[in-house]
Structure 1
Amino acid sequence: MEFEIVTQSQRLAEICQQASTKPFLMLDTEFVRTRTLYARLGLIQMFDGETLALVDPVEIDDLTPLWDLLKNESVTKVLHACGEDLEVFQHYAGCMPTPMIDTQIMAAFLGYGLSTGFAKLVSDYLGIELDKGEARTDWMARPLSDKQLHYAAADVHYLLPLFEKLQAELSQTQWEDAAYQESALAVKKREKQPDAEKAYLDIKNAWQLNPKQLAILKMAAKWRLEEARKRDLAVNFVVKELSLWKLARFGLRSKDQMLKEEFDPREVQRHGGKLLRFTYLADDLNPNEYPEPVTRLMDYPGYKQIFKLLKDEVKIASDKSGLMPEFLASKKQLNQLLSWKWKKNAAPELKPDVLKGWRGELLEARFMSVIEK
């Protein structure tokens, strides 16, 4: 396995120019994320079938040629389990690899579980056992060890023959176009940035709060997310989620009360005043400005029975299609369907993903017969 380490912008530009003439580009990233909100990019691996390059973003200031290649629609980018890689590209490049195909998704259309690992597929399709010993390593350290470099290179070196075998097998099924649809959907989902105004809806047990308490939570959660983005700090390292909920639930009005509620003393010292301000600001709001109560789906009449009926339909579709039930429609996707029906009045323009594309062809008629009874 031959590879080169790229530390100069000029060489990167040459490699990207060559790759731009190829139909497919294997891509992967290595990164570190501990306390930060955004991953710290340590390495980018790319293989066009001719040159396997390990691009060092720590050494190269200008990665524009690579970002341009990501947007080059004549080159299909191939990744495995692309979710976090897409987040990295969105943050650093401000764009996504398009078009893109994910080998984990391809495998799911061939009967594998949705979260099948790269090493498992390489073993099954190529008969090679990969060493995953460097999966948890410091990719920001320099110099990178030979073992790290070979581990990183293997991820794109074997991705090419794996992709070719999956592609050949998929082409003999009805699912080839669906795999590209699903990969494009993964890109679309990762392009969306969380809305700070709605951050409070992700706080556990927000449903237990009344509208005024939700007003406090909404302001505090918005501030926390914006602070996390500004400081590149994971949200729970700004203020713990439970602390925000307690602030709102008990309408805390002093640092002493915070400490009695077992806030981290460092949270109180650093952010106590800012957090308490939201309690007082809520006093000045007109009740019309309070958020709507948060209603859990499970509290709607008949939720359990309808959810079970939907799962039954998924099982039938799974048996007929050969696709795994959790890939066809996850619990989250079924809840999105019910939320669309009950909370959004089944607005056509807000139709959930489970009713669109290849899933819609398999499931829409089945699901609508359940939720429209």
Structure 2
Amino acid sequence: MQTITTTEALAEFCARAAAHPYVTVDTEFLRERTYYSKLCLVQMAYAGDGKEVDAVLVDPLAEGLSLEPMYDLFRNEDVVKVFHAARQDLEIFFVEAGVFPIPLFDSQVAAMVCGFGEQVGYETLVRKIAKQPLDKSSRFTDWSRRPLTDAQKTYAVGDVTHLRQIYEKLSSDLAKNGRTPWLQEELKVLLSPETYVIKPEDAWKRLKTRTTSGKFLAVAKELAQFRESYAQGRNMPRNRVMKDDALMELASTKPKNAQELSRSRLLLREARKGEIADGILKAVQAGLEMDPRDHPKVSNDKEKLQVNPALADLLRVLLKAKSENAGVAQKLIATASELDEIAAGKRDVPSLKGWRGEVFGEDAMRLCNGEIALTAKGSVVKVVSL
């Protein structure tokens, strides 16, 4: 198989790929020691029989190699870019070049829409659709080391050659059952910049806490903002600055000086001095000085919901029936919390909109309004108009 190490060779391959209706893409990367993913390898293939000419490995670590020809291909709207579980791949390309592969096809999302269950793995699709085994022994190797072994290359190229058959099968099924718009609706989130941009001032929202104390949340917000900014600026994992449990401890103890900071049980040794320690103490002070009117608030809307338990149970039965009838996983249509929200009278929920509204939401509203009833015969649940 060909490993591309020059911009010229990449441009030649991308020119050939542009003459085909689709190209399959995958990446190998490392993120254990950095904030942003380090791209180590790109695999691409276009329609063919798997020979060297139509499936290649691209080495982004090769000296002098520019990925711009590939990004031009990503911008070419005449060629579908096919990925499996694309979120992390798309994040890499967006962060590195501000590029999204358009049009996009994600085989994991397509498989869920086609009834393969929730978050189906690539190996499962290879086995069920391509009827081939898949060697995953190189999955957790260090992709930044050179030279790559033959086993690594074989593993890597298999992630795009089998994907061609999977794409052709799933795209055909989607067209036959009229669900292509469903897939496009699901992919909107993946193609939104907001999915990949983490603003330090919003980092506190990712913390898991049940505390509603304004002062605690103010300090936690400032600490989370400092941690995110520090990690982004130095391209290091946020947990190497401080872990969540240490952040929560500091938001509770609110140290005002180095001596008090040193008493932390959970803070990493490296964070007890220097820039990180200074940043922590400044963040705590900023949180304590925050105007109470600006204190962050944890939404407790769910706690205030007046859920009708009988209606919630009926909605669960309806969802199960609709899911089985459509051949789509229940959780892809509606989550348990969404059903409770509907039973409490909320209407601005995803399961009542778009294709979910067609499959489930319309009848869910009719059930809430007393316009339909549910009957059961054996294991089959049917909807009856009243």
TM tier, smaller = 0.7 to 0.9
Q: Cα gap change, 1:307/1:72 in structure 2, threshold over 3 Å: closer, same or farther?
A: farther
Report Cα offsets for 1:290-349 as digits up to 9, x if no partner. Answer: 22x3134542243594766654443232133121112222457668x77x987xxx7xxx
Corresponding residue of 1:210: 213
Q: Which has the higher Rg, Structure 1 or Structure 2?
A: 2
The structural deviation recorded for 1:169 is 2.8
Corresponding residue of 2:143: 139
Corresponding residue of 1:200: 204
Q: State how far apart, in whole Å, the 1-side matches of 2:87 and 2:289 are.
A: 42
User: Does residue 151 in structure 1 map to residue 148 in structure 2?
Assistant: no
Q: Is the 8 A contact 2:351 2:360 kept in 1?
A: yes
Correspondence for 1:328 among 306, 328, 333: 333
Q: Is the 8 A contact 1:298 1:304 kept in 2?
A: no
Please say which of residues 281-290 and 86-95 is displaced more in the overlay.
Answer: 281-290
Q: State how far apart, in whole Å, the 2-side matches of 1:157 and 1:300 are.
A: 51
Report Cα offsets for 1:214-234 as digits up to 9, x if no partner. Answer: 111111111111111111111
Q: State how far apart, in whole Å, the 2-side matches of 1:239 and 1:371 are.
A: 47
The structural deviation recorded for 1:199 is 1.2
TM-score, normalised relative to structure 1: 0.87
Task: Note the residue ranges of structure 1 that are not aligned, 5 or more in a row.
Answer: none
Report Cα offsets for 1:218-270 as digits up to 9, x if no partner. Answer: 11111111111111111111111122222222322233333333022322124
Aligned pairs (5 A) from 1:259-298: 259-262=262-265, 263-270=267-274, 271-291=276-296, 293-298=297-302
Aligned pairs (5 A) from 1:85-164: 85-164=89-168
Corresponding residue of 2:244: 241
Corresponding residue of 1:170: 174
Q: Is the 8 A contact 1:44 1:54 kept in 2?
A: yes
Corresponding residue of 1:251: 254
**SS at 1:46 equivalent:** strand
Corresponding residue of 1:82: 86
Q: Is the 8 A contact 1:314 1:325 kept in 2?
A: yes
Correspondence for 1:319 among 319, 324, 332: 324
User: Does residue 46 in structure 1 map to residue 44 in structure 2?
Assistant: yes
Q: Is the 8 A contact 2:23 2:81 kept in 1?
A: yes
Report Cα offsets for 1:128-172 as digits up to 9, x if no partner. Answer: 111111111111110000110111111111111121122233332
The structural deviation recorded for 1:107 is 1.6
Q: How many residues are paired up? A: 360
Structure having the larger proportion of residues in helix: 1
**SS at 2:77 equivalent:** coil
Q: State how far apart, in whole Å, the 2-side matches of 1:214 and 1:242 are.
A: 14
Corresponding residue of 1:32: 30
Q: State how far apart, in whole Å, the 2-side matches of 1:144 and 1:332 are.
A: 46
The structural deviation recorded for 1:42 is 0.8
Q: Cα gap change, 1:19/1:112 in structure 2, threshold over 3 Å: closer, same or farther?
A: same
**SS at 1:130 equivalent:** coil
Q: Cα gap change, 1:105/1:282 in structure 2, threshold over 3 Å: closer, same or farther?
A: closer
Q: Cα gap change, 1:137/1:70 in structure 2, threshold over 3 Å: closer, same or farther?
A: same
Please say which of residues 251-260 and 193-202 is displaced more in the overlay.
Answer: 251-260
**SS at 2:192 equivalent:** helix
User: What amino acid is the match of 1:158?
Assistant: H
Q: State how far apart, in whole Å, the 2-side matches of 1:372 and 1:238 are.
A: 52
C-alpha RMSD of matched pairs (Å):
2.7
Q: State how far apart, in whole Å, the 2-side matches of 1:255 and 1:315 are.
A: 57
**SS at 2:81 equivalent:** strand
Aligned pairs (5 A) from 1:8-23: 8-23=6-21
Q: Cα gap change, 1:223/1:341 in structure 2, threshold over 3 Å: closer, same or farther?
A: farther
Q: Is the 8 A contact 1:96 1:191 kept in 2?
A: no
Correspondence for 1:364 among 356, 361, 364: 361
**SS at 1:185 equivalent:** coil
The structural deviation recorded for 1:93 is 2.3
The percent identity for this pair of structures is: 30
TM-score, normalised relative to structure 2: 0.84
Report Cα offsets for 1:179-236 as digits up to 9, x if no partner. Answer: 233234333377441232221121121x304112211111111111111111111111
**SS at 1:144 equivalent:** coil
Q: State how far apart, in whole Å, the 2-side matches of 1:196 and 1:130 are.
A: 40
Q: Cα gap change, 1:55/1:127 in structure 2, threshold over 3 Å: closer, same or farther?
A: same
Report Cα offsets for 1:80-111 as digits up to 9, x if no partner. Answer: 11121111211222111111111112221222
User: Does residue 223 in structure 1 map to residue 226 in structure 2?
Assistant: yes
**SS at 2:29 equivalent:** strand
Q: State how far apart, in whole Å, the 2-side matches of 1:10 and 1:330 are.
A: 49
Please say which of residues 315-324 and 276-285 is displaced more in the overlay.
Answer: 276-285
Q: State how far apart, in whole Å, the 2-side matches of 1:182 and 1:288 are.
A: 38
**SS at 2:189 equivalent:** helix
Corresponding residue of 2:51: none
